[in-house]
A = this chain, B = another copy of it.
Amino acid sequence: MNQQNTTKKIISCSFKNLSNKKEMDKISITDIMDQTDYRRQTFYDHFDDKYDLITWIFSYDVTDLIQHLMKWQNWEEVLFHLLNYLEENRVYYKKIISTIKLDSFKDYFIYYIKKSIQSLADDYLQTHPISDGNSVLIKTKIDFCAYGLSEMLYHWVLEDCDPTATDYHELLITVIYFKI
């Protein structure tokens, strides 16, 4: 991990830690930095604001988990890691999702899921070339799955990750594979 990411991780840990004790809206940048050895200004050297920090945490954590798996044949495993990560951090993410002001996180969440599905599809298409006419269809399918999946995961976190990550993974795989 480079120095910049180390600092970012320390700030993230402070924020996650505080989120267990205080309402999300009530956590100030001063609160976050008071728990570290850095000055308050260091926060702004690395993040624009609290919302930027929240999206960075999600992106950094999940990318770390799945980036070595981003091949089409691993898509079920990618989903499994994502579900387990959300389950492990369910208290933190439920708080984020339940905070109305953090609607921008939802947009980022959907964007990230979409980008990951796109990346998996790109890998598939490298060995399965398609005609121009079919590319619109593939794009529509990716959008449909990304929207469906991100909303499902979002609501699953709101319902305290019930059923468990393992059971929900099996259920989602079946749903995605089955015809309507």
Q: Which of A's residues lie within 8 Å of B, judged by CB?
A: 103, 110, 136-137, 140-141, 143-145, 147-149, 151-152, 155, 171-172, 174-180
Contact = CB atoms under 8 A, between A and B. Distances in A.
Contact of A175 (B144, B155, B174, B177): B144
Contacts of A143: 151-152, 155
Given A147-B152, A148-B147, A151-B147, A140 B175 contact: yes
Chain A interface, DSSP helix/strand/loop, else mixed: helix
A152 B141 CA distance: 10
A179 B180 contact: no
B140 A172 contact: yes
A147 B145 contact: no
